Amino acid sequence: MVEPARRAFSVSARIAVPVFPGTNSEDETVRLLRDCGGNADLVHWSHGDRLAEYDAYVLSGGFAYEDRIRAGAIAAHDRIMDFVIDGAASGKLVFGICNGAQILLEAGLVPGTGPRRRPTAAFAKNGPQPHFVCRHVQLKLAIAPSRCAITAGLPPGALVPAWAAHAEGRLAATPQHLDEIVVGDHLAFLYAHADGTVDDAAVPNGSALHCAGLVNREGNVLAIMPHPERDGWNFNHLDRADGDDVLAPSGGAVLFRSFVHAVALRTP
Amino acid sequence: MLSGLSGPPNVALRDDELQRITERLGREPTLVELHAFDAQWSEHCSYKSSRHHLKRLPTSGAGVVLGPGEDAGALRLGTHAGDAYAIVVAHESHNHPSQIVPFEGAATGVGGIVRDVLCMGAEVIAVADALRFGRADDPTTQARNIANGVVDGVGAYGNAIGVPNLTGNVYFEEGFEANCLVNVVALGVVKESELIHSFAPKGAEDWAIVLVGKATDPSGFGGASFSSLTLDPDETAGNKGAVQVPDPFLKNVLMRASYRVFALLRERKITAAFKDLGAGGLMGCSAEITAQGGYGAAINLDSVNVAIAGMPPEVIAVGETQERLLWVLPPDVAPEVVRVYNEEFTLPEIAYNARATIVGRVTSERRYVLRYCGNVVMDVESEFLTGAIRDDLPYTEVIRHAGSHEELPAVDVETLLPRVLAHRGVASREPLYRRYDAVVRGRTVLPRGAAGAGVLAPIPGSPIGVALAVAGNPRYGRIDPRYAAEHAVVEAMRQIVAVGARPIGLTDCLNFGNPRNPEQYGEFVAAVEGLARAATQLDLPFVSGNVSLYNESASGTAVPASAIVSCIGAIDDVSNVVTPGLKEAGSVLLWIGSRELAVGGSVLAELLGLQGTLPSISYAGERAAVGILRDAIALGVLRSCRAIGAGGMLTALVRLAFDAMARRRAIGAEIDFGNPLCEAGGFICEVSDDSGIDLTGALRIGQTIAGSELVVNGVRFAIPHLFEIWSSPLAELFP
């Protein structure tokens, strides 16, 4: 068991992973948060009221409300998001992965350049082919690490291994809103090759600006499409070295560690 | 609106079966009874013409936790923190529905197999698929459209419920144009002590029968008997109503709610029964779950949550609406379970009128009774309804196809290797499987495409691994059904061994033609013999399986004999899994296995226009090969490995080089070998040192070299160029 790591932080900060109807990545998300020292709980949609008690939120992957209308569109109006939107406004950290990221865009929290629940950008149907795509990718940090509290623990230009697994991950917005994203330094992560180069071939879904993740203006809400938690332990890596502890968190866990650390720093 | 459904009974029961029913009941059956027997006595439910042959398969062994007979089988995986864990496995087809409506047909196939595993009390951890289509490069067939729909359907369902697609295979061959095959496998993990059975336990008199899930609607009415008929394109429109409608969103919630119920029952130490509603709908499921415990059932159809008011009772009773399961629970626990589904997991808000409902009770009378609007609409002996019926159909002995010994011409590797790699049987499947989520739940060790078998670490916090592979080559099936079945077992086992796992058991899905055609039925019988022989020789039990007959076109041509086999492997510590791709320059390359120059059924034979003999299977040789691999792993000298399949040894070696390239290791190989494109089975292995290996069953054929180059008998190939050739054909057909 990798449980001991859980107590590495002696903070009382509590992280909630809300479960919407249709969420499917909640277990591994909570497990990796815990293995990275976080004090994380699943919070089921029937117990949404408990969310107010938490210090940070991680919205995990899945198909909340069946991706009806557009991925994240219904969930953005769920009561769960009242707590998340209020929490983000009060400075709590919010981290969305895949469907969680789609929900954050639909809720208007990232890039956050318009009113709440009036999205200015979306993770739209993949292009040029509209299929679901499951592909190993590298997330390249494209902002100064301290620009976003959640990435503050990463080195500049860090590469984070992850799996893209989605049918709607192509950043789409009007030219004006895309400009705002660039000018406002919202472009947190790009898709990159393993050597760090960024080009169209590294992008699995036709995303504008090679975008894999966005941050809000205040730097406390981060939305990324690929899943670091699916390449989050040594046993997940296809090129692990002999002698590595297969159960130890690694790879994509670097971003989870940075998040857990930031939550601890921020919580009084 | 519903009048068409209750018109003149359109049933597949034969006259002699109808007569038997009337005699036993002492009266004419009611309309509900007629439909109930039609479903329950269909080939799909009763295995009436296959069950007695299947008895030949070995089904027991030290590793068997639960053999065939329930919704899924179970195999011992290993012990973690004092608890013994089992892998639950089920394997099924959804061929006919997928031919008619590919997306929905394939999606409901995944949905059904997942419920079979879920209802054993297991957490569902993986699915796999084996697909057979007509030639997708032939624009005169529907094969490409069907393949697109099926792949999207398999993906959409598995992705939404959050179960990774771990492995699988796809063939595009003549003979599947009018009848594609969609076989699906699901795996679950459960503590052995917490397995839930699909029959009412001792002392279950008067227990509650609780229906859970989607509101019953008219979809899937007549599904069981539809699967037991031959497809006629002229009736496609009429058959569509027999196909069910998938709802993976609801299933996602149902699965999680059921996990919560499992925990509740474990806390209370309650033994309950849980079963999937499949063929025969509510009637089939409630009749079997009670009859197998030695009970009867009294069900009130008025209590069933329906999607449309006024449906006739036979539709409510036998309609095959998806996403439904059935509990048998103590009466005091039932309301609590209903509360978990309806209130905590808010089923009625997830899908229209979805819920858990108490619909009846278990009775000691051993009669199966349905009431509707105050009337008894069905009242029959449970045993008569669900008991074994048997059709001893005549069959023609299949003569083993000896093939002809043709002198193999000198093989020009330079022109043939690229043609083999671009062949529809060899070219990269990635354009298809990348539409499947291979990594959801974060437990994947070897995702789909990384090796011949997929590997997961299913128990959080434990290094124990499970491997899964599927096999079944229709190119062999067309030549010799018995051989193809044997070969499927051997090939699936080899894939498991090649990733460093220990094979522990098998499942099968037997896809054949019309059992009333003695020649087609003879192919089925021969295949069962082949499976039995291979499994016995390799000491591997079959723990679950499925038979799909009537896979033929309207003109009466059966699909190529397709015994599709999956093999499950156990791994004590996933750090010992053989990871993909060549590792280092200067390694020794070993070929382990048979060296005979038989080309029958191979890609090479097709390209050269040869017939040839089929490569022989030597079980002593297989056991020796497995021993050599195991030794190499124990010695720590095995760097990479791949089982040899379609395209032969050279294709397997090239794949190892591709996998190295994908991990940014520029490693090639230099080998010398007579005909490296023969498909005689075995393994290609990269070892750091072969001094400790018994080389009587292995042959040193070359070594790895630095740089992305492959040198075969002096002919040089650039590996990135070969990769282009291998990865383009399906990418063009399935952009």
- What CATH number should be reported for the domain holding residue B584? 3.90.650.10
Chain-chain contact of A45 with B346 (C-beta, under 8 angstroms): yes
Question: Does the annotation count A229 as an active-site position?
Answer: yes
Set of chain A residues whose Cβ sits within 8 Å of the Cβ of B156: 132
Give the closest-approach CA distance of B460 to chain A in angstroms.
8
> Which pLDDT does position B225 carry in this prediction?
61
- Which residues of chain B fall below pLDDT 50? 1-8, 237
Q: Dihedral of CA B403/B520/B52/B199: which sign? A: positive
Is A49 near chain B, with CB under 8 Å? no
Measured between CB atoms, does B155 come within 8 Å of chain A? yes
CB contacts of B445 in chain A (<8 Å) are 235-236
Q: Does the beta-carbon distance from B442 to A27 stay under 8 Å?
A: yes
Answer whether A63 sits within 8 Å of B445, measured CB to CB. Answer: no
What integer pLDDT is reported at residue B402 of this predicted model?
62
Nearest to A235 among B343, B450, B574 (CB): B574
Name the domain count of chain B.
1
Tell which B residues from 9 to 48 touch A, by Cβ distance under 8 Å.
none
Pair B420, B677: CB distance under 8 Å: yes
Residue A8, pLDDT score: 45
- What distance in Å separates the CA atoms of residue A203 and residue A169, rounded to the nearest whole number? 10
Q: Record the tokens describing residue B653, joined without a space.
A: 């070696």
Give the B window 564-583 contacts with A, CB below 8 Å: 573-575, 579-580
A223 DSSP 8-state letter: E
Q: Show residues of chain A in contact with B450, CB under 8 Å.
A: 238
B655 part of a folded domain: yes
Nearest residue of A to residue B436, measured between CA atoms: A134
Q: Is A168 on the interface with B (CB under 8 A)?
A: no
Tell me whether residue B376 is in a domain.
Answer: no
Residue B189 touches chain A, beta carbons under 8 Å:
no
Label the pairing between strands B667-671 and B709-712. parallel
Among the partner residues A21, A27, A65, nearest to B441 by beta-carbon distance: A27
- Whether B346 and A27 lie within 8 Å, measured CB to CB: no
Test mutation, A33, A43, A131, A205, chain B, max B CBs within 10 A: A131
Q: For residues B185 and B470, is the Cβ–Cβ distance under 8 A?
A: yes
Task: Count chain A–chain B contacts defined by CB atoms under 8 A.
Answer: 119
Q: Which of residues 119-138 of A touch B (CB under 8 A)?
A: 129, 131-135
Catalogue the long-range contacts made by A191-196 (C-beta closer than 8 Å, 24 or more residues apart). A191/A137, A191/A138, A191/A139, A191/A140, A191/A164, A191/A226, A192/A137, A192/A138, A192/A139, A192/A140, A192/A159, A193/A138, A194/A138, A194/A159, A194/B664, A195/B664, A196/A138, A196/A140, A196/A157, A196/A159
B348/A contact by beta carbon, under 8 A: no
Pair B60, B68: CB distance under 8 Å? no
Q: Is A99 on the interface with B (CB under 8 A)?
A: no
What is the model's pLDDT at position B231?
65
Segments of chain A with pLDDT less than 50: 1-10
* Tens digits of residue pLDDT in B634-692: 999 999 999 999 999 999 999 999 999 999 999 999 999 888 998 888 999 999 998 98
pLDDT value of residue B219: 81
Q: CB–CB of B574 and A230 under 8 A? A: no
Residue A227 annotated to the active site: yes
CA-closest candidate to residue B355, choices B257, B273, B263, B208: B257
Hey, is the C-beta of A32 within 8 angstroms of any chain B C-beta? Answer: yes
Distance CA B582, CA B664 (A): 11
CA angle at residue B200 from B199 to B206, to 5 degrees? 155
B440 touches chain A (CB under 8 A): yes
A204 to chain B, minimum CA–CA distance in Å? 11
Of the residues A26, A106, A168, A229, only one is catalytic, namely A229
Q: Which of A133, A230, A244 faces B442 most closely, judged by CB atoms? A: A230
> What is the pLDDT at residue B239?
56
Superfamily assignment of A9-266 in CATH? Class I glutamine amidotransferase (GATase) domain (3.40.50.880)
Judging contacts by C-beta atoms under 8 Å, the chain B residues touching residue A246 are: 457, 463, 573-575
Please check whether residue B159 touches A, CB under 8 A.
yes
Q: Do A131 and B435 touch (CB under 8 A)?
A: yes
> Does A66 lie at the interface with B, CB-CB under 8 angstroms?
yes
Which spans in B539-669 are helix H?
Answer: 603-608, 619-635, 648-662
**Which ipTM was obtained for this model?**
0.94
Instruction: Answer yes or no: is B70 within a domain.
Output: no
Contact B440 A244 (CB under 8 A): no
What pLDDT was estimated at residue A2?
Answer: 39
> Nearest residue of A to residue B451 by CA position?
A238
Interface touch B735/A32, C-beta < 8 Å: no
Q: What residues make up the domain containing B632? A: 579-735
Is B625 a member of any domain? yes
State how far the alpha carbon of B490 is from the alpha carbons of B106, B501, B530, B534, B648, in Å.
Answer: 27, 15, 11, 7, 15
Q: What is the pLDDT of residue A266?
A: 85
